[in-house]
Amino acid sequence: MGRGERVPRGPGRERGEPAGSAVKPHAPACDRNRDPILAVLREHFADRRRVLEIGSGTGQHAVHFAAALPWLDWQCSDVAAQLAGIRLWLDEAALPNTPAPLELDVARGPWPESGRFDAVFTANTLHIMGWPEVEAFFAGAGRLLDGAQGGKLVVYGPFNYGGAYTSDSNRDFDAWLAARDPRSAIRDAEAVEALASAAGLGRMADVAMPANNRCLVFSREKG
């Protein structure tokens, strides 16, 4: 990955500028990665209808994806501090398929009820979360998609494989993460897949993305 792909951010994903004013938060990384991610979502969410985005950050991804995939109801969520900035993006776009964002902390909840959504999406969150939060994320996503026929989970971000970095830039980024917050780290894809499997989600695809990122696609069957 190029260092320019990463921006300092809080508990969710690409944070951009603080959301405490009337100026929409903006993360340049969202502008760069949105179309490669969209291509994955267009394929794997073609038969989905209700998506929960976890860690919506600035809200940029939400308006881009909801506009391009109008058959989806795209539900943003994030910790309370991020919601005002997300609302600025949603209100300006005024799309019919982006309801008001939900407050959601993956470790503390409140998680929506099972069956309300048939897909979950998150981008650049797992390496920001501590490992207990990553565990809570997959457990919560598994419960949320329980009983959703073919329910899908798409996770975007950098991953290690076999305990090894995929690039020198990912190694440098991981060192930056550790210096910023010792709980943060690029996650091993195998460890993430084990959590998904324990939650009843099997890996469908591992898609290479620009800047040494990946999209991991998981699915569960009914029951």
pLDDT in tens, 126-181: 999 999 999 999 999 999 998 777 899 999 999 999 999 999 999 999 999 999 99
For range 54-68, the mean pLDDT = 98
What pLDDT score was predicted for residue 149? Answer: 77
Average predicted confidence (pLDDT) for the chain = 91
pLDDT > 70 in the chain, percent = 89
Query: Distance between CA atoms of 72 and 110, rounded to whole angstroms?
Result: 22
Domain assignment of residue 193, given as a range: 25-220
- Judge whether residue 221 has pLDDT over 80: no
Q: Is residue 4 part of a domain?
A: no
Q: Is residue 67 part of a domain?
A: yes
Do residues 206 and 156 make contact, with C-beta atoms less than 8 angstroms apart? Answer: no
- Judge whether residue 70 has pLDDT over 50: yes
Residue 116, CA atoms < 13 Å, CB-side half-sphere: 12
For range 32-56, the mean pLDDT = 98
- Judge whether residue 4 has pLDDT over 50: no
Q: pTM for the full model? A: 0.90
- Judge whether residue 217 has pLDDT over 50: yes
Given phi > 0 = left and psi -120 to 50 = alpha, else beta, which region is 165?
beta
Q: How many other CB atoms are found less than 10 A from the CB of residue 206?
A: 13
Range in 8-12, 117-121, 132-136, 200-204 with the lowest mean pLDDT? 8-12
pLDDT tens-place string over residues 82-115? 999 999 999 999 999 999 999 999 999 999 998 8
What pLDDT score was predicted for residue 173? Answer: 98
Give how many domains the chain has, as a whole number.
1
Q: How many degrees, rounded to 5, is the angle at CA 37 between CA 94 and CA 92?
A: 15
CATH number, domain with residue 92: 3.40.50.150
